[in-house]
Structure 1
Amino acid sequence: MDLNIHYIQNSYIKNISVIGEIETKEDTERLLRELEASNILEFNITFIGANTLNTRIVEKISYLRKILKCKIYVLKRFLYLYLQDLGIKCEYVLKKSLHAKLNNKTPISELRSLDTDMVNRFLENIRLKFGYDYTGYQIDSVIRRINITMLRENISCFEQFEAAVLKEPEIFEQLFLDLSINTTGFFRDPDVFLMLRNRILTYLCSYSHIKIWCVGCSSGKEPYSLAILLYELGLLNKTYIYATDINPYIIEEAKNGLFSTSNIDKDILNYQKSGGTRNFVDYFDLNDSYMKIKSHLQKNILFFQHSVIGNGILNEFQLILCRNVLIYLTPQTQEKVLFTLSKSLDFTGFLVLGKSEGMLLNGGHSFFVNYLAKEKIYRLKQSI
């Protein structure tokens, strides 16, 4: 991280440009020191190149915004959307070459259909150049998201778009974000969490230690929901939750444990439906527009980037949640993933899939059998 700092002449306004990601503790301390000057009436801070900010920086700029001492400018879409979701007002700065995108009103349905073979070759080139493998994703979903990125970049020719993605990291980053699925929620599908509470974790409580893997953890609401559940059952201290996602930016967001309060009523209802009897809000420190998960619920969660498609077997777990991941993959890739999950699961462990997923077309019955069919909970075939 580099900082460019200057003061507006004859005023008490301090302009700070933050260049690059804030990656180290030293970077954080340096920026916080620059934001502490008591004689400054206003800070103008511009984040150039940063997709993520850690909790301390977010809390600091949120406070400065609250007391009207800070204007924030952001050049990366992911960071802009994150701050906006937390209720931290900021301005999204587009490069001049990208301004034309705002005037592009072409609906996705009017874009020409893309040739599947061309798209598959494009995905293989992405895999070879950037290391991200989308070749096993449902092609219709991939094409739709490519079209979305083409609209953002105001590029109508696929060949031109392909060349730009492979040449310009910023355009690849936009496609990468559009290909990432980050839909999640606290105690999502509460009937599943009710079964985890009443059947699965009560079975696992006899273990001396428990390892759980959340595949595709997104912003962290699923692993934090598990942490709350484990805490209420007295199992958190002997449990480690491995929370992984292909998107490194969403992993950093999840580590922060900061969430919008806009869905708090739904979160409370889902928690109650999952068998929770305490006050859901007590598990958070509340700010005006966002809430912060209590630190004791974070300590046993290991967040890190991982692709269940490309990185393979991770550990030996008593419980794996891989919910709403398979639906975006081809049946052949689903089978590969299920094989990986079967090899990552303890002999007597449990696998939880999403409500619209299962073992019908992907060969999964070679590895798993139904345990609780309605909740899409499975066990290893050889364990029965």
Structure 2
Amino acid sequence: MELSAISDEQVEILLSDLLENYGYDFTGYSRASLKRRVVRLYTLDKITGFTEFRYKINNDPVYFKRFVEQITVNVTEMFRDPGFFKTLRNVVLPRLGTYPLIRIWLAGCSTGEEAYSVSILLKELNLLHKSLIYATDLNPKVLEKASQGMFPLTNMKQYSENYIASGGQQDFSSYYTAKYSLAKFDNELRSKIIFSTHNLVSDHSFNEFQLILCRNVLIYFDRDLQHKVLELFNNSLEDLGYLGLGTKETIDFSNIASKFKRLDHEKIWRKVN
């Protein structure tokens, strides 16, 4: 696959079209990663030229939907980075257990594996009944999949290992029912999750949260957009609330850094008074 199939200038034209015609602002996304995904789709769909590609994106609603699905990144798994979830289990969530209602925002939730992981932690800590998990993503298709709570059965071995490594002591298979090639997670876990679209680039804060998780999303944004999103999280987080990021992400060089103190080991920060 040759990156020259689409030029840098043509990528900018597409980004301008998306903003003008659909209100989707990808201009702050890392260009290298965005271009790779655009070129991959262009090659995969055997488009004959840039003019045709641009026309389809701007005039064919079905193809536009496919384009957005392909250029947004949706890679996730349950209890990914088990040490992170162990800290949620042992440190963060027990502290939040004193609240009458625990509000959690999972930003960039993709197909929902992380949302169900957090729901399992809350259930095991006897906190699920007084919790609400807002799981948001830009991509409506992945949210539709997430709301079904069904994942490939072949993934369960890895997810079970992650769960145990994160401190889980139950039989992981007790949380789902096998249906053909899929694992269907219990409705109780789904009952406290609200899936909805939210654009981190253009949408505002919509609640006050005690915990915000946005893991492995900021790495696809340029520095200016990272700062903008981190400011959004700061405005959406109560005092003494927690912010969790991905393993390669940090708030250290942002405008909000002085307002947070990092927990030991994991990429979790607490908002100080």
Structure 1 position 367, deviation (Å) = 4.6
Structure 1, residues 304-324: CA drift from partner, whole Å, max 9, x if none?
111122112121000000001
**Aligned: 1:203 with 2:95:** yes
Task: Report the residue type matching 1:125 in the other structure.
Answer: D
Structure with higher Rg: it is 1
Task: Report the residue type matching 1:149 in the other structure.
Answer: L
Structure 1 segment 365-380 matched on structure 2, within 5 A: 365-372=257-264, 374-380=265-271
Structure 1 position 152, deviation (Å) = 2.5
Structure 1, residues 97-143: CA drift from partner, whole Å, max 9, x if none?
xxxxxxxxxxx1x3416443442232022112112211110011111
- Give RMSD over aligned pairs: 1.6
Partner of residue 128 from structure 1, selected from 11, 15, 20: 20
Q: Tell me what 2:106 maps to.
A: 214
What is the CA–CA distance in structure 2 between the aligned matches of 1:330 and 1:129, rounded to whole Å?
23
Q: SS at 2:263's partner residue?
A: strand
Structure 1 position 270, deviation (Å) = 0.6
Structure 1 segment 353-364 matched on structure 2, within 5 A: 353-364=245-256
Q: Please, which runs of 5 or more residues in structure 1 have no aligned partner?
A: 1-107
Conserved? CA contact 2:79–2:163, under 8 Å: yes
Aligned identity (percent) is 38
Structure 1 segment 158-237 matched on structure 2, within 5 A: 158-237=50-129
What is the CA–CA distance in structure 2 between the aligned matches of 1:289 and 1:205, rounded to whole Å?
36
Conserved? CA contact 2:84–2:266, under 8 Å: yes
What is the CA–CA distance in structure 2 between the aligned matches of 1:113 and 1:363, rounded to whole Å?
38
Q: SS at 1:132's partner residue?
A: coil
Task: Report the residue type matching 2:14 in the other structure.
Answer: F
Q: Tell me what 1:261 maps to.
A: 153
> In proportion to residue count, which structure has more helix?
2
Q: Tell me what 2:240 maps to.
A: 348
Task: Report the residue type matching 1:379 in the other structure.
Answer: R
Tell me which of the two structures has the higher relative contact order, counting C-alpha pairs closer than 8 angstroms and 6 or more residues apart.
2
Q: Please, which runs of 5 or more residues in structure 2 have no aligned partner?
A: none
Q: Which moved more, 1:234-243 or 1:353-362?
A: 353-362
What is the CA–CA distance in structure 1 between the aligned matches of 2:56 and 2:255, rounded to whole Å?
38
Structure 1 position 145, deviation (Å) = 1.0
Partner of residue 296 from structure 1, selected from 188, 191, 197: 188
Q: SS at 1:263's partner residue?
A: helix
Structure 1 position 208, deviation (Å) = 1.1
Conserved? CA contact 1:210–1:238, under 8 Å: yes
Task: Report the residue type matching 1:228 in the other structure.
Answer: I
Q: Tell me what 1:277 maps to.
A: 169
Q: How does the TM-score come out when normalised to structure 2?
A: 0.94
* Distance change in 2, residues 1:125/1:366 (3 Å): farther
Conserved? CA contact 1:258–1:290, under 8 Å: yes
Conserved? CA contact 1:271–1:280, under 8 Å: yes
**Aligned: 1:330 with 2:222:** yes
Structure 1 position 176, deviation (Å) = 1.0
Task: Report the residue type matching 1:131 in the other structure.
Answer: G
Structure 1 position 171, deviation (Å) = 2.6
What is the CA–CA distance in structure 1 between the aligned matches of 2:21 and 2:151, rounded to whole Å?
34
Conserved? CA contact 2:86–2:167, under 8 Å: yes
What is the CA–CA distance in structure 1 between the aligned matches of 2:248 and 2:168, rounded to whole Å?
25
Structure 1, residues 200-245: CA drift from partner, whole Å, max 9, x if none?
0111111111000011111111111111110000000000000111
* Distance change in 2, residues 1:355/1:335 (3 Å): same
Structure 1 position 158, deviation (Å) = 2.8
What is the CA–CA distance in structure 2 between the aligned matches of 1:367 and 1:252, rounded to whole Å?
36
What is the CA–CA distance in structure 2 between the aligned matches of 1:364 and 1:144, rounded to whole Å?
31
Q: How does the TM-score come out when normalised to structure 1?
A: 0.68
Q: SS at 1:259's partner residue?
A: strand
Q: Which moved more, 1:363-372 or 1:279-288?
A: 363-372
Conserved? CA contact 1:258–1:292, under 8 Å: yes
Task: Report the residue type matching 1:112 in the other structure.
Answer: S
What is the CA–CA distance in structure 2 between the aligned matches of 1:303 and 1:146, rounded to whole Å?
27
What is the CA–CA distance in structure 2 between the aligned matches of 1:304 and 1:235, rounded to whole Å?
22
Task: Report the residue type matching 1:340 in the other structure.
Answer: L
Count of matched residue pairs: 273
Q: Tell me what 2:47 maps to.
A: 155
